[in-house]
Structure 1
Amino acid sequence: MSQPLPAEAARARALLSATARQGRGRMARPVLLGLASIACGLAQAWFMAHLLATLLGHGDSGWAEMGAAAALALLGIALGVAQEHAQADAGAAARAGLRRRAFARLLALGPADPRPAGERAALVVDRIEALDGYFARWLPAAILAAAGPLLIALAVASEDPLSGVILFAAGAMVPVGMALTGIGAALASRRQFDALQALSGRFLDRMRGLPQIVLFGRQESEAQALGAAADELRTRTMRVLRVAFLSGLSLEVIAAAVLGCLAWRHGHLLVGGHPDPQAALFCLLMVPGFFAPLRAFSAAYHERMSAHGAAAALAPLLEGEEADEAGLLLAEIPPSVVVTFEHVSLTYDPSRGPALRDLSFRALPGEALVLAGPSGAGKSSVLRLLMGFNRPDGGRIAFNGRDATSLRPSELRRLSAYVGQKAHLFRDTIRNNIALARPDATEAEILAAARAAHVTDFSDKLPGGLDTMVGEGGYGLSGGQAQRVAMARAFLRNAPLVLLDEPTAHLDPGTEAELLESLRRLCAGRTAIIATHSSALRARFTRVLEMADGRANPARMAGE
């Protein structure tokens, strides 16, 4: 694991505590309902003790006591059902809040997040789902395990002090037994979730690359690797379950011992003539009620351990939320942008060296700057800085003469329209895929963007036109058609800064030539920065900045 266990545990506790404080209103309801159910059980046991004493020839009870006991039994069932619903609501609310925060954080990180897509999906789905038991069952059970047995022990002690002492002693032994059986449970749970996340990520990544795996004949080895990962997950899951079973076993042993002690005491006294048979029966009847909250506590104990393991992985993601909110907001989008890099440097990983070194240039409105150079020269790093996915380690980036890093990362992205190497289209209509760039756009604006990017050249030939459904990833469209949809998004966004990252990569020369006119229209009147290897793009936009090893080559700056 990358972090020491104490640090991970502290971060997990902080996240769980903060989330519990935010939802304490919802979480108080199951606790109050649980206390009401315990009080109802006490009253029911008192009436039942009266009835049983009468059946044994002690006391005088009738239909009134039987009716009261039956009514209290029904009330207890209703309170139990209401408590279950309140617990489910509390857990659902906590998970929904955490999922919103985690998803917003992943969106804010964007491509700066190095985790594979499968691991990110497991983080937002599986890890947060594992926290449900903590908020829905563990927190209410922990409070009721302290308050419920204390209330019952006090009621029993008022009838027979020695029986109350026995229950008090048993209640003190339960946490000790659970602690002894629960040592290492959090670590086991964390390792289980690590194995689950690794399996999820590996499976999704291999499914995406299935054609390449089959093409290179690696299907057998990949199937074996997935089988090994699944077997590791099975082993770690069984270890977590082992801890849960041991915790429940220790509680049952204590409960059996207490019941035996009280049965011996009061049974012996009943045979020899008990001074208060009703009190003896009440004490015996309350033993199951005394251990009911503790059983719920024990059953939820492994939920706490699982939650700590899941929260330890989730906490690092959510710790950067404050940084996302830091920075200035734009009062309005400026009509034009002058982009200035002054001695900018950027390092992702010190072991790999700087991605950018002392880079300086200026891009003015109405001109397109082409960043050329081999792969790894730093072209895409420039675009990542301009979109706010990374911050420079040194130097200054300015928009219209003002420091760009003083803006929130989300504000930087409001200033730009981006077209990447391969457009990702969602399973939806072509129209809605274009409208993703600006959901509030009118139908006329969407149609104008589609025409500007020449999307209508092929969509008009489809049965549904712009309302034709496309598959995930653009299934059903060619690479060039998908890039035209991406270009239409950029037209619809109508931002003053256009960022293009290999927009004609993976296209044949004929399709590339068709897109060049759309690119020229998109860049007209805007500040455009284009990272490309394409000689056709370099010929169309004459201002070229040659880059190598993160640096600009002044001797090879064309178009100045």
Structure 2
Amino acid sequence: MIRMLLRVLGPEYARPVRRTVALMVVTAIVEGLSYGLLVPVLRELLGGDPAAARPWLVAFGAAVAVYAVLRYLSDLSGFRVGSVLLGGMYHRLGDHLARLPLGWYDSGRVGEVSVLAGRGVLQAMSVIAHLLAPFVSACVTPLTIVVVMLASDWRLGLAALAAVPVVAAIQVWAARSTAAADAARAGRDRAATGRVIEYLQAQPVLRAGGRTGERFRLLDDSLEEVRRASRRGVLAALPGVLGLTLTVQAIFTALLVLGAHLALGGSVGAAELLAVLVLAARCADPLLSLSDIGGRLRAARFELGRLDAVLRTPPLPAPTTPLRPAHRGLELASVTFRHDDRTVLDDLTLSVPPGQRLAVVGPSGAGKSTLLQLIARFHDVDAGAVRVGGVDVRSIGTEVLMAQLAIVFQDVYLFDGSIEENVRLGRPDAGEAEVRAAATAARLDEVIERLPGGWAANVGEGGALLSGGERQRVSIARALLKDAPIVLLDEVTSALDPVNEAAVHEGVERLMAGRTVVMVAHRLRAVERADRVAFLDGGRIVEEGCHDELLRRGGPYAAFWNASPTPAERTESR
């Protein structure tokens, strides 16, 4: 458990964790030894000269005082180390998640990461602060008492020692019997969290379908599965709890019978027998608590295992000697990329000279957005190479690569903050005049003027308080502020109304001016003004050339072009 905890946390936390564990062990030993002093105390009190017990009582009081101080220090150390570990774990998990390829984030990861980053991390990191001290005490204190019993009377001590492997075997059996139930319950929890998120995101669809008054069956079924899994987990843990309780009671009864037999035979005095029975009774409480502590530790260990699995997921490898791009051109050389069992891009070769605009057109599922993601190194290719400025993106440091690119997606995500904070993400150190100029160029100033809070207006989670066109203007202003030499556009105007489309198009034109551009687009205006058009279908470039040339050929691009826009839009664009 401790080994896995240190592996999850990293080597920098090894020393404080080991120091805290050592302090907890010493505290548990001192507790057991303090109880051991009851043997001479009771022997003298019940003997011929009770006054002789006074030095032993003083020693017992001193031992209890030392134990109290050590317990305070060990608990304080556990809380402090636990707080540090919790913050460190969040930072390490967040940094690692940010380095993982986007292909890792499939639809099933949303619920998993939500549970893991919330309850999972708290449960795993609670080991040091809340679980380790009582667990160490429940294990080490009874063992110390058994050693004291061996010193007091070897026969009763051996009888108590014989119970140690029995208790350990029950704990191992209980852990194995509940492992499958714990895993099933965790899986159901992740699925239910995903369903809750899906239910919240699907509210527009449910309401449009008139289903606001009825229950969401998929969510109900998932929550019912959680209930059943929890019930199975309780039933699976019940035999271990009962087994441990019965075993502890049986051991105490056996010691009582053996002690009575020895006392009646004159081998053990009444005072010694009473002291040994008091020690045995004191062992019972921590041993009985093992079932509860063990269950919580198993749950924490399971979460640690999940954290360990995520942290072991290999991130995109960083170059050992990073290179810098020599220019702002782009090239994809014999690129093949697979996602799951599907080949998305197949031996694709494409180049964009510095300062040129390339429009990528094709049917849905052709791999257009994936092409942009490979340029930004959201994934690594399976074969071939993606080069920015003549350098393979795998040989460019992440910060340097991102500094070369300004990306505007179709679905814009804004962080829950002010408009200015979201624009400044493009370049946090930009001056106020630069931020205002970028907003004006993106026609975001029109939005700011009509919002009550102006620049300080909150956009809501994901930008929910703004319209799609307004969010797109924030995204373009952010890209303009970044002032990167290469621009990647992913159908930025496909879902906008004419007014917002005109405003966004004007901002996009300013963003593209003088830069190398790769745009995924269906709108005629954007495609016609590109220097070159690449028609992508089935993961391959089937046609490439300027717009007019491809129309004259009458090939797949011309057919797609004639089928896509309405006649009115085609006339307007010309």
> TM class, shorter-chain normalised?
0.7 to 0.9
Question: Which one of 50, 67, 85 corresponds to residue 60 of structure 1?
Answer: 50
Partner of 1:204: 197
Partner of 2:337: 346
Question: Which one of 368, 383, 405 corresponds to residue 379 of structure 1?
Answer: 368
Question: Which amino acid is the alignment partner of residue 454 of structure 1?
Answer: R
Name the stretch that deviates more: 413-422 or 235-244: 235-244
User: 3-state DSSP class of the match of 2:335?
Assistant: strand
Partner of 1:237: 230
Distance 2:60 2:433 in 1: 72
| Post-superposition offset of 1:92 | 4.2
User: 3-state DSSP class of the match of 1:347?
Assistant: strand
User: 3-state DSSP class of the match of 1:552?
Assistant: strand
Distance 2:544 2:328 in 1: 26
Residue by residue over 1:303-361, the C-alpha shift from the partner in whole angstroms, topping out at 9 and shown as x without a partner, is 3432443344444422234x434325656676x411011222212132x4x21123222
Task: Confirm or deny that 1:441 pairs with 2:424.
Answer: no
Question: Which one of 66, 69, 90 corresponds to residue 99 of structure 1?
Answer: 90
User: 3-state DSSP class of the match of 1:131?
Assistant: helix
Question: Which one of 38, 45, 60 corresponds to residue 28 of structure 2?
Answer: 38
Distance 2:29 2:387 in 1: 67
1:181–1:246 contact (8 Å) kept in structure 2: yes
Question: Which one of 421, 427, 440 corresponds to residue 432 of structure 1?
Answer: 421
Map 1:204-223 to 2 at 5 A: 204-219=197-212, 223=216
Name the stretch that deviates more: 177-186 or 18-27: 18-27
Partner of 1:247: 240
Name the stretch that deviates more: 150-159 or 500-509: 150-159
| Post-superposition offset of 1:47 | 4.4
Distance 2:244 2:70 in 1: 25
Task: Confirm or deny that 1:496 pairs with 2:488.
Answer: no
Task: Confirm or deny that 1:326 pairs with 2:318.
Answer: yes
1:186–1:308 contact (8 Å) kept in structure 2: no
Partner of 1:356: 345
Distance 2:500 2:140 in 1: 73
1:30–1:140 contact (8 Å) kept in structure 2: no
Distance 1:536 1:546 in 2: 16
Question: Which one of 173, 181, 185 corresponds to residue 178 of structure 2?
Answer: 185
| Post-superposition offset of 1:147 | 4.4
Question: Which amino acid is the alignment partner of residue 467 of structure 1?
Answer: A
2:43–2:275 contact (8 Å) kept in structure 1: no
Map 1:251-290 to 2 at 5 A: 251-270=244-263, 276-290=269-283
Distance 1:460-1:221 versus aligned 2 partners, 3 A rule: closer
Task: Confirm or deny that 1:227 pairs with 2:216.
Answer: no
Distance 1:442-1:184 versus aligned 2 partners, 3 A rule: farther
Question: Which amino acid is the alignment partner of residue 529 of structure 2?
Answer: R
Name the stretch that deviates more: 87-96 or 224-233: 87-96
| Post-superposition offset of 1:236 | 1.4
Distance 1:18-1:431 versus aligned 2 partners, 3 A rule: same
Question: Which amino acid is the alignment partner of residue 223 of structure 1?
Answer: F
Task: Confirm or deny that 1:26 pairs with 2:54.
Answer: no
1:347–1:355 contact (8 Å) kept in structure 2: yes
Question: Which one of 147, 156, 161 corresponds to residue 149 of structure 2?
Answer: 156
Aligned-pair Cα RMSD in Å: 3.1
Distance 1:486 1:95 in 2: 34
2:353–2:516 contact (8 Å) kept in structure 1: yes
Question: Which one of 403, 407, 413 corresponds to residue 402 of structure 2?
Answer: 413
1:327–1:407 contact (8 Å) kept in structure 2: yes
Partner of 1:475: 464
Distance 2:25 2:48 in 1: 31
Partner of 1:388: 377
| Post-superposition offset of 1:515 | 1.8
Distance 1:499 1:138 in 2: 50
| Post-superposition offset of 1:452 | 2.4
Distance 1:38 1:423 in 2: 56
Distance 1:228-1:77 versus aligned 2 partners, 3 A rule: farther
| Post-superposition offset of 1:541 | 2.9
| Post-superposition offset of 1:500 | 0.8
1:544–1:559 contact (8 Å) kept in structure 2: no
Distance 1:312 1:44 in 2: 37
Distance 2:310 2:31 in 1: 45
Distance 1:278-1:415 versus aligned 2 partners, 3 A rule: farther
Residue by residue over 1:474-506, the C-alpha shift from the partner in whole angstroms, topping out at 9 and shown as x without a partner, is 233222221111011101222221111111121
Partner of 1:9: none
Partner of 1:7: none
Name the stretch that deviates more: 495-504 or 263-272: 263-272
Residue by residue over 1:16-36, the C-alpha shift from the partner in whole angstroms, topping out at 9 and shown as x without a partner, is 462377344333344334333
Higher relative contact order (CA 8 A, sep 6+): 1
Distance 2:22 2:3 in 1: 25
User: 3-state DSSP class of the match of 2:50?
Assistant: coil
Distance 2:35 2:310 in 1: 50
Question: Which amino acid is the alignment partner of residue 360 of structure 1?
Answer: T
Distance 1:320 1:557 in 2: 43
- 5+ residue gaps, structure 1, are 1-11
Distance 1:329 1:55 in 2: 77
Distance 1:293 1:26 in 2: 26
Task: Confirm or deny that 1:86 pairs with 2:86.
Answer: no
Name the stretch that deviates more: 265-274 or 297-306: 265-274
Distance 2:402 2:194 in 1: 28
User: 3-state DSSP class of the match of 1:327?
Assistant: coil
Partner of 1:529: 518
Residue by residue over 1:181-232, the C-alpha shift from the partner in whole angstroms, topping out at 9 and shown as x without a partner, is 3333222111111000000011012101111112124457752322221121
| Post-superposition offset of 1:428 | 1.1
Partner of 1:6: none
| Post-superposition offset of 1:68 | 4.6
Distance 1:269 1:214 in 2: 79
User: 3-state DSSP class of the match of 2:216?
Assistant: helix
Question: Which amino acid is the alignment partner of residue 31 of structure 1?
Answer: V
Task: Confirm or deny that 1:452 pairs with 2:445.
Answer: no
Distance 1:557 1:431 in 2: 39
Distance 1:517 1:330 in 2: 37
Residue by residue over 1:351-382, the C-alpha shift from the partner in whole angstroms, topping out at 9 and shown as x without a partner, is x4x21123222112222211112211211011
Question: Which amino acid is the alignment partner of residue 513 of structure 1?
Answer: A
| Post-superposition offset of 1:294 | 3.9
| Post-superposition offset of 1:439 | 2.5
- Length, aligned pairs only: 545
1:387–1:409 contact (8 Å) kept in structure 2: no
Partner of 1:519: 508
Name the stretch that deviates more: 194-203 or 38-47: 38-47
